[in-house]
């Protein structure tokens, strides 16, 4: 018998500037102060650097915990959510500094997004999360404006039928789609918010037939990662950022035949406990997984109308 492990509630909200944590963010050596943004030319090699201090002692934190295979996860998204990049700045333990030069090619497969991170004009939010040893998970963000004419695209919900979105995707080197996805979401309204569950069935075209996709390769320790951001997220950054980062773990074979099989389900499952963080309205969510040595990125756009939490 295979035992299905429900995905753990491995999700978190974005909060910045706590009493034990202050972030210092630099773009091309220039400090980004508070809510101000930095003006940049698109497509130029751009150095992003960060370090973090304890405001009580002014000490620089140098001890970080690896989470999902990396010391830092960074998401770069533009205002209309047409651009989403997920990269991993490099950590120098002697100085406590994290750095990544974007708009440059990397051979690192976990930084394949870096080459095209800041290319399209418009306003961007750069969001970084770390775990400081002995302090906990902390996040911060900085704003960057890429000069030029920014043509914004309106979010439009994906076609759906009874709340189910069926979408097809292709690999960048292919002409026609070879992936089929069936996206479902469920809400459970509780006392302190909503549990939002996403279930995404994955299929891959094999010999002209869509077969359940079972050969996910581990990417950053999980079967898949996802990031969910609400429309107009930039106008809400003074509060909790309407941003969720979720993971879908591998499902292990527990048939006790000691062959140490790992059985992969073709359904990705992501959970988020929304305590009023996400904004009602349109949402965009990207799932990322590694398949046939390429990290795939698949977006979904859907409506979300959370119920007010029950008083109990």
How many residues belong to the site for Cu ion (CB under 5 A)? 1
Contact, 74 vs 88, CB < 8 A? yes
Residue 73 near Cu ion by CB under 5 A: yes
By beta-carbon proximity to Cu ion, the closer residue of 22 and 225 is: 225
Contact, 143 vs 123, CB < 8 A? yes
Which helix (H) or strand (E) segment holds residue 84: the answer is strand 84-87
Residue 157 CA to residue 74 CA, distance in Å, equals: 26
For the beta carbon of residue 309, count every other beta carbon within 10 angstroms. 15
CA atoms within 13 A on the CB side of 85: 22
CB of 306 to Cu ion, least distance (A): 26
The CA–CA distances, whole Å, from 98 to 26, 92, 93, 232 equal 10, 6, 9, 28
By beta-carbon proximity to Cu ion, the closer residue of 73 and 185 is: 73
Residue 40 CA to residue 118 CA, distance in Å, equals: 9
Q: Which residues in 15-54 contact Cu ion (CB under 5 A)? A: none
CB of 288 to Cu ion, least distance (A): 8
CB of 70 to Cu ion, least distance (A): 5
State which residue has the least CB distance to Cu ion.
73
CB of 161 to Cu ion, least distance (A): 32
Give the interface segment with Cu ion, choosing from 11-19, 22-30, 69-77, 274-282 (CB under 5 A): 69-77
Give the interface segment with Cu ion, choosing from 72-80, 195-203, 239-247, 287-295 (CB under 5 A): 72-80
By beta-carbon proximity to Cu ion, the closer residue of 107 and 207 is: 107
Residue 40 CA to residue 35 CA, distance in Å, equals: 16
By beta-carbon proximity to Cu ion, the closer residue of 157 and 295 is: 295
By beta-carbon proximity to Cu ion, the closer residue of 73 and 79 is: 73
CB of 86 to Cu ion, least distance (A): 5
Nearest CA among 153, 160, 43 for reference residue 104: 43
Binding site for Cu ion (CB under 5 A): 73
């Amino acid at each position: 018998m295979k035992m299905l492990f429900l995905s753990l509630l491995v999700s978190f909200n974005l909060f910045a500037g706590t009493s034990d944590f202050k972030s210092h963010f630099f773009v091309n050596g220039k400090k980004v102060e508070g809510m101000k943004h930095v003006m940049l030319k698109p497509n130029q090699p751009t150095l992003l650097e960060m370090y973090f201090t304890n405001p009580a002692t002014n000490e620089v934190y140098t001890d970080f915990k690896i989470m999902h295979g990396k010391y830092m996860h960074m998401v770069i998204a533009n205002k209309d959510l047409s651009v989403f990049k997920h990269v991993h700045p490099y950590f120098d333990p002697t100085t406590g500094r994290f750095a990544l030069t974007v708009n440059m090619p990397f051979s690192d497969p976990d930084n394949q997004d870096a080459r095209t991170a800041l290319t399209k004009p418009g306003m961007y939010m750069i969001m970084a999360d770390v775990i400081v040893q002995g302090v906990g998970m902390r996040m911060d963000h900085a704003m960057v404006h890429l000069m030029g004419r920014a043509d914004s695209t309106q979010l439009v919900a994906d076609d759906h039928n009874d709340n189910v979105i069926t979408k097809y995707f292709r690999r960048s080197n292919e002409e026609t789609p070879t992936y089929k996805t069936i996206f479902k979401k469920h809400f459970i309204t509780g006392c302190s918010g909503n549990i939002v569950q996403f279930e995404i069935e994955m299929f891959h075209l094999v010999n002209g037939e869509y077969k359940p996709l079972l050969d996910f390769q581990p990417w950053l320790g999980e079967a898949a990662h996802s990031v969910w951001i609400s429309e107009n997220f930039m106008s809400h950054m003074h509060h909790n950022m309407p941003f969720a980062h979720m993971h879908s773990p591998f499902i292990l074979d527990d048939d006790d035949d000691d062959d140490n099989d790992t059985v992969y389900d073709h359904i990705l499952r992501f959970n988020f406990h929304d305590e009023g963080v996400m904004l009602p309205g349109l949402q965009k969510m990207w799932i990322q997984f590694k398949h046939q040595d390429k990290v795939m990125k698949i977006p979904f756009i859907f409506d979300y109308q959370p119920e007010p939490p029950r008083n109990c």
